[in-house]
Amino acid sequence: YLIFSLFFTSDILNIIISNTNKYAISKLSEEKRLWQNLTLLELRIFIAILIYMGIFKLSSIKDYW
């Protein structure tokens, strides 16, 4: 976690969250779909999954789930 925080500070993650939420609201409102705002915990989990998938290569995407 400490090494990760050197590259992705809370400020950077909050910018990503803010822009993701703004973009999703603007796109999904056109389709009249609801959006639940992305949280810091959800973003960290998503990035952790991406890192895990990069380190541990499995033969199929389905194998990760």
Q: What is the pLDDT of residues 2-51, one digit of tens each?
A: 888 888 899 999 999 999 999 999 888 777 788 899 999 999 999 988 98
Query: What global pTM score does this model have?
Result: 0.78
- What local confidence, expressed as pLDDT, does residue 27 receive? 87
Query: What residues have CB less than 8 Å from 3, skipping those under 6 apart?
Result: none
